[in-house]
Structure formats: structure tokens, C-alpha cells
């Protein structure tokens, strides 16, 4: 699994692997006016066109999952007569389906534009979310959650690929942070929505059923808008002029990761399977996501264990969203200004470790202290956009990027499968083993972040010592060649 050293000269470029952007740039080679495009204004224009849809998709992606958390304190368990670990199983099977669906995602994201694949799946997961309202037993709820997991599996990889098409590696960080902060917004409005629907009284429909139905319909509407209004690639953006498209493509070419190609390169998948960095990123994501699974599924349950009513438990969970938003935006803009993704990753684990400690070792009588612990654990969710952006920044090659995005997103689901299973019925009401798992996994994730930093630093030094500093003329030859990070002698990892 050691990284192969790059050749002294670029590998021969296979014309079938050349990025789609090349054809556009070749056809607009004399577009000199692109040099006069204001890149800052262009970024703002792209942000206005893309970020609202991406943000809404991520809000709804988390909201549709966390609604199960809120429905648990709204009477879902009682109404469906869930017993033992059946509630935990519905949460875990969502992520098992999510994980299985990542395999076809690699192929589909190589053959179908990310925006179209995302929009179509958002529409369908809205249908699945609404179908949850029709569940009348454990089996019905389980089936709806499995379909929800299948359709939601593409959200992370699609948003990662879309972001990497329009922004340089340093520009991607705050954009990843922005759409990912939708998770925190979902936590806040989710609590408010749950509180509101608990006030709804209907003779034939419980409040949680109406909540699932309404949110499902809203999700399908956002999916349809995403499908039609996010362009397939930058070159197909009707709201960009030719000069703006050329300027954008020239600007993002410094990533040396390409924009999009429909050619599936199996050699790049094979390379990814033996790439040390990807497995370090994957393991770190799994560790991080154990806590995420706990936050998503059981935070309201933990709060309710103090004796609060369902509506109050939902409202008391909203500060978790504020913590998520604060840390997500902090690291996004921090990376844009200072890089050092590894250090920001470690920074976010510190309040999470403290929170895990408070949850694990404070007596239950200390309600305020344990609540603070539950809130602090949410800082850990800000590490996921770092890992997403890190993956996109350091994996080049069209097929390898699609595979890497699916692998990291799939590892997120692995952690979320493990997280709910740490809550076993016989450990109620304190669930101490689950709380200790949160503490231990976040500490391990901090250690692995430092290991990743050392790995990237070593690889860059080896390339500089073996092949010399980056040759700018060689960079021009490899920008759109479809080479992987290992094949490209001009590629340097960011950390």
C-alpha cells in the first residue's frame, strides 16, 4: 500500500480519459477576454446559483434522518409497538442500505452528471420519507427506512463532486462547510418542527405521521428543482458567458483533478483500493461517524431520559444545531485562510472528547453538565466536511474521485451503523457503554488526523527529493490529462 513514486515525465495521456473541459477549452482557445473576468465576482455568481440548492439538499438529508429521532419522543415507538432493539435496528438498516447503495453510485456518478443524479435521488427519498407516515408496524417502518437509505446514499458523493467542479481546493473548504452547516440548521428546525407537530391533534393521523408526510413532499419539491436548475457541468451552465466559463475552467485547473468525464477507468479503482491515504481517511470517517450516529438517533432520547416531556426534549435538542453550525463554518473559513486540515480536525475532536467525558462520567443528577456534554459532542460533526473536502482535494483522476467520494461517504454510514448499536436496551436509561464509545472514537479520530498529516508531509517530501520541485510547464501538460494523484508527478497533497 506504499505510494509509488511518480515518473519523471507525465504518463502518456489516453484520449479517452481526457476531461470534458478540454473539448470546450479547445473550442474557445482564442477567448482572450476571459483574462478580464473578475474571479471574485464570478465566485459570488456561482455561489448564488449553486449553494442554495446544495444547502437545502443537505438540510433535508439530515432532517429526514433526524425525524426518526424526534418521532421516537412523539409516540412512534408506542404506536408501532416497537420492542427491544427494533428502534435501533431501523436506524442501523437505514445506513446498511446507504452503504450498499454506494457501490452502484460509483458507476452512476461516472455516467450521469452529479446534479441530475442528485436531483433524481432527492425526489425519490422525499417519496420514501413520506411513505414512512404509512408504517403501522416494525416491518413497514423498516422498509421505508431502507428505501430512504438507498436514495440518500448519493447526497455526499454528489455534493463533493459538484463542489470540486466549480472551486479550487482552498475555495472548496468554506463551500463544503456552508452546505454541510445545513446539518446544524436541520437540528435546530427539526426540534422546532417536532415541537410544532406535537401540538397537532388529528383523529386519524398522529403528529409524527403528518410530520413525515409534509417533510417528504417538501423534499421531493427540492429534488425536482435541483434536477432542473443545477447544470450538469460548468460548461453547460446557461447563466455563464463563454468568457466566464473559460476563466472558471482555467482557474480550477490548478486542482489537477479534472471536472468530469464519462469514461470508467477500472485501473483507477484498483489504484484507489491500495491507496494508503484513502484507507486512513475512511477509518477516520468511521470513527467520527460513530458519534454522528449517536447524535442523529439518540440525542432526544438521552435528553428525555432526564424526565423531560417529548416537546421539551425536542426543543432542548436545538442548541446542538448551533454548536454544529459554529464549528462547521469555523473550520471551513479557517481552512480557506490557513489550510492545515489536520489541525482543524483535531480541534473539533477536543470539545467532542470533553462532551463525551461529561456524558460518561457525570452523575445523572447533574442535568446541566450532561446536557452541555450532549451539546459539545456535536462539534465532531464539523470534521466530516473536512474529510469530504480533503478527499476531493487529494484524489485525482475522474474514476478515482468518484470511487473515493463513495468510499468515504460509505464509511460515514459504517460509523452510523455502529453508533446506534452501542445503545442496547439492557443499558437503559443511562446507556453508559454508548457514551464511552463516543469518547473513545473521537480520541482515536484525533490521533489518525495527525497520522494523515505525517503521511501527506512525507509523500510531498519524497516527491520533492526524488523528482525536484514542481515544474510549471509540466503542470500545464497534466491539468486535464485525467491522471491520478499517483500518476501525476506535478501533484502535491494538501494537509
Residue owning grid cell 456534554? 373
pLDDT tens digits along 356-383: 788 778 887 888 888 898 888 888 888 9
Average pLDDT score over residue span 54-69 = 86
Domain ranges of the chain: 16-478
Higher pLDDT, 130 or 315: 130
Lowest mean pLDDT among 23-37, 48-62, 312-326, 352-366: 23-37
Lowest mean pLDDT among 9-13, 14-18, 111-115, 323-327: 9-13
pLDDT at 11 (0 to 100): 46
Q: Is residue 304 over pLDDT 70?
A: yes
pLDDT at 344 (0 to 100): 92
Which three cell numbers mark 401?
A: 474521485
8 A C-beta contact, residue 176 and residue 330: no
pLDDT at 20 (0 to 100): 64
Q: Residue 203: pLDDT band by 50, 70, 90 thresholds? A: confident
Lowest mean pLDDT among 29-38, 72-81, 266-275: 29-38
Q: Residue 261: pLDDT band by 50, 70, 90 thresholds? A: low
pLDDT tens digits along 108-132: 988 898 999 999 999 999 999 999 9
Q: Residue 260: pLDDT band by 50, 70, 90 thresholds? A: low
CATH number for the domain running over 16-478: 1.20.1250.20
User: Torsion angle of alpha carbons 396, 399, 404, 409, nearest 10°?
Assistant: 130
d(CA 339, CA 175): 14
Q: Residue 273: pLDDT band by 50, 70, 90 thresholds? A: very high
Report the predicted TM-score, pTM, of the whole model to 2 decimal places: 0.79
pLDDT tens digits along 217-235: 999 999 999 999 999 888 8
Q: Is residue 142 over pLDDT 90?
A: yes
CB atoms < 10 A from the CB of 398, how many?
Answer: 27
pLDDT at 12 (0 to 100): 44
pLDDT at 258 (0 to 100): 60
pLDDT at 8 (0 to 100): 39
**Residue 253, CA atoms < 13 Å, CB-side half-sphere:** 22
482 backbone φψ class: left, alpha, beta (φ>0; ψ -120 to 50): left
d(CA 327, CA 342): 15
Higher pLDDT, 60 or 68: 60
Q: Is residue 6 over pLDDT 90?
A: no
Q: Residue 83: pLDDT band by 50, 70, 90 thresholds? A: confident
Average pLDDT score over residue span 244-260 = 77
Higher pLDDT, 123 or 63: 123
Lowest mean pLDDT among 16-20, 377-381, 489-493: 16-20
Q: Residue 15: pLDDT band by 50, 70, 90 thresholds? A: very low
Phi and psi at 255, nearest 5°, equal: -65, -30
CA distances from 488 to 31, 107, 403 (A): 28, 23, 18
pLDDT tens digits along 151-175: 999 998 899 888 888 998 888 889 9
8 A C-beta contact, residue 374 and residue 302: yes
Range of 35-49, 184-198, 478-492 with top mean pLDDT: 35-49
pLDDT at 364 (0 to 100): 75
Higher pLDDT, 68 or 66: 68
Which three cell numbers mark 138?
A: 416494525
Amino acid at each position: 500500500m506504499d505510494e509509488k513514486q511518480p515518473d519523471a515525465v507525465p504518463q502518456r495521456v489516453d484520449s479517452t480519459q481526457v476531461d470534458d473541459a478540454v473539448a470546450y477549452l479547445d473550442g474557445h482557445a482564442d477567448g482572450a477576454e476571459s483574462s478580464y473576468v473578475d474571479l471574485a465576482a464570478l465566485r459570488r455568481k456561482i455561489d448564488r446559483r449553486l449553494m442554495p440548492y446544495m444547502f437545502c439538499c443537505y438540510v433535508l438529508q439530515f432532517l429526514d434522518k433526524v425525524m426518526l429521532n424526534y418521532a421516537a419522543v412523539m409516540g412512534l415507538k408506542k404506536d408501532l409497538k416497537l420492542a427491544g432493539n427494533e428502534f435501533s435496528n431501523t436506524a442501523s438498516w437505514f445506513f446498511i442500505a446507504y452503504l450498499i447503495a454506494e457501490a452502484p453510485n460509483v458507476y452512476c456518478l461516472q455516467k450521469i452528471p452529479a446534479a441530475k443524479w442528485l436531483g433524481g435521488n432527492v425526489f425519490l427519498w422525499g417519496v420514501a420519507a413520506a411513505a414512512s407516515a404509512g408504517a403501522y408496524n416494525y416491518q413497514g417502518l423498516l422498509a421505508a427506512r431502507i428505501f430512504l437509505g438507498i436514495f440518500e446514499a448519493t447526497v455526499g458523493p454528489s455534493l463533493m463532486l459538484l463542489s470540486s467542479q466549480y472551486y479550487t481546493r482552498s475555495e472548496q473548504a468554506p463551500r463544503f462547510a456552508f452546505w454541510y452547516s445545513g446539518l446544524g440548521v436541520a437540528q435546530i428546525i427539526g426540534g422546532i418542527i417536532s415541537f410544532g407537530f406535537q401540538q397537532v391533534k388529528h383523529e386519524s393521523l398522529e403528529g409524527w405521521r403528518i410530520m413525515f408526510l409534509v417533510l417528504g413532499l417538501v423534499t421531493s419539491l427540492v429534488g425536482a428543482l435541483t434536477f432542473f436548475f443545477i447544470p450538469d457541468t460548468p460548461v453547460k451552465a446557461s447563466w455563464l458567458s463563454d468568457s466566464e466559463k473559460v476563466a472558471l475552467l482555467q482557474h480550477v485547473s490548478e486542482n489537477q483533478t479534472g471536472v468530469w468525464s464519462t469514461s470508467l477507468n477500472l485501473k483507477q479503482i484498483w489504484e484507489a483500493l491500495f491507496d494508503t491515504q484513502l484507507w486512513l481517511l475512511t477509518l477516520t470517517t468511521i470513527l467520527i461517524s460513530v458519534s454522528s450516529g449517536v447524535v442523529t438517533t439518540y440525542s432526544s432520547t438521552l435528553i428525555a431520559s432526564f424526565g423531560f416531556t417529548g416537546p421539551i426534549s425536542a426543543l432542548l435538542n436545538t442548541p446542538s444545531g448551533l454548536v454544529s453550525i459554529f464549528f462547521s463554518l469555523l473550520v471551513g473559513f479557517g481552512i480557506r485562510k490557513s489550510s492545515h486540515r489536520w489541525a482543524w480536525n483535531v480541534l473539533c475532536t477536543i470539545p467532542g472528547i470533553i462532551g463525551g467525558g461529561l456524558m460518561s462520567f457525570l452523575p445523572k443528577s447533574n442535568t446541566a453538565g450532561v446536557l452541555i456534554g450532549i451539546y459539545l459532542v456535536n462539534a465532531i460533526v464539523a470534521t466530516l466536511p473536512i474529510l469530504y473536502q480533503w478527499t476531493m482535494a487529494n484524489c485525482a483522476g475522474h474514476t478515482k474521485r468518484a470511487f473515493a467520494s463513495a468510499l468515504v461517504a460509505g464509511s460515514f454510514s459504517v460509523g452510523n451503523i455502529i453508533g446506534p448499536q452501542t445503545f442496547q436496551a439492557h443499558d437503559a436509561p443511562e446507556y453508559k457503554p454508548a457514551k464511552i464509545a463516543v469518547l473513545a472514537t473521537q480520541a482515536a479520530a484525533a490521533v489518525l488526523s495527525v497520522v494523515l498529516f505525517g503521511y501527506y508531509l512525507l509523500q510531498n517530501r519524497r516527491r520533492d527529493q526524488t523528482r525536484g520541485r514542481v515544474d510549471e510547464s509540466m503542470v500545464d501538460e497534466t491539468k486535464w490529462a485525467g491522471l491520478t494523484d499517483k500518476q501525476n508527478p506535478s501533484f502535491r497533497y494538501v494537509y
